Structure 1
Amino acid sequence: MGFIMKVTDHNYNGAIPYLQQGIESGVPGTIDGRFFLHLGDALYRVGRHEDAQKVYDLGYKKNVFLSPWQRSLHNVDRLKAQPWWTERDTEVEDKLRMLAENWKVIRDEGLAQLNDVTGAFELESEDLSHTGEWRQFTLYRQGHKVHGNCRKTPKTCELLDQFPEATMCKRGQIKYSVMHPGIHVWPHCGPTNCRIRAHLGLVVPPGLKIRVVNETRTWTEGKFIVFDDSFDHEVWHEGKSLRLVLIVDIWHPELSTRERATLPAI
């Protein structure tokens, strides 16, 4: 009941006691990462930040999270875990460099899709936005090309087709992400530790911040920032004009070829 109230109704105060009582009961089936994840998130959203952290700490002790800060639920346990990565760490530095060298082409095709008539940017649908407007234009999803959108951005998708570690990542996406001034994205974790997320800055005004665990950075036009989105992260846009980036999810470099082929999509 608490899970439904939280996820479907967004009734955080109503969901909290149900989720707490369920977890505290210890009844089989209640020690589930989804319940710890959504209880902690509900507590955070109503301002009970210390209580939220206690839930995440308990989830780690109960072995439903990899750590209190890395709360993904679809994991391969042995993989290297660090919040921020370098391009070299990904072992696909050459592919990232190829995209970065063409960032203006990628930018221009993305900006063209912001047109209300021809574009197809869709509102973020995972209830992650606290304030402001966040829209996305997806090119690849779960290892499959979104052909209709790629026909609208042909040069970008032609570049991406040279990057199978990203386009064939069944646990990731490749998409444009546009944020308008005033956005705040709640602290959250991605669903899996099997991917690394790279952001290519395309339009980056002043006033932007992204925090991953305890380090805050920003974007630069024509450059990548790389992080493991299974770790707790949060975004603010306190500037005066839109921010546009290309999000590229890449298979974690320590996954074997067999694992990449057989892991189920997310």
Structure 2
Amino acid sequence: MTAMISDSYSDTYAIVNNNGEAITADEIKYQTSIQIPPTLEEFMFEGYADRIGDVLDGLNFTHNIFHFRLLPPIIRSFKVICLAFNYKDQDSWLRFGRFPPKDPVIYMKARTSLTGAYEDIICPSFVKQLDYEGELALVIGKKCRDVEIGKALEYVGGYFVLDDISARDIQFIDKQYSRAKSFDSFGPCGPWVVTRDEIHDPNDLQLITKVNEEVRQSSSTSNLVLNIEKIVNSLSSVMTLEAGDIISTGTPSGTGLSMSSHIKYLQHGDIVEVEVEGIGKIRNKVKFVR
């Protein structure tokens, strides 16, 4: 696992083991004499991770990763592509009169909306209907176009957790999604990137979203309408996907908007947690500001 971190001096990246212990980029260079690059994206996508793979067990992981401030795990993405209506258990079919899509229904989210796994969600006070959407996100590992389904996973660099925060009132006014989902801090994500080889089956991962410890979403990526391979295949038939591009795969039922008894939008002070099996958990506090 790799994470973008910040300490008292600078922003850098670290490798994280399964015990939550970390070693920073500078420490890797010092302990191995391998001249690894300055950015996490170069490290992940240009083969450096493979180069040091054989020596990782011998490295001294000296830090608790949670002693650092965790930044968005991918900060140099060209595109943040999000899917709508992509869960079989999503109750928006009835609400919006739609049928499960044969091709991805997508919208673009500003990359400046991305924030760290434990940072606050900052919402301007003119937004009255703030909502959560727990999702599995993937990052493209190498440039591709017209990818065959059978080879699609070869172009995935890794996976992380993303909460696609949404201003529903703006979404309903605009009749489209991008502005409502692109406010700064409306994309908490992380806590790190889990590389493709660390996930046995990305199409069978449990996803749970909680608000103030109450479970709101509980599903599995086995309920995706379009699975990971089909998403990469379909999107690459439309546009060139580049290393570092982020694709968020959609959210299941249980958003505040879709609560069956009554709508439950986020309020000031709420704590939102999203956890994806095998990847990790993000936890963010909601703050409304003037």
TM exceeding 0.5: no
Higher RCO (C-alpha under 8 Å, 6+ residues apart) = 2
TM-score (norm 2): 0.28
Is the helix fraction higher in 1 or 2? 1
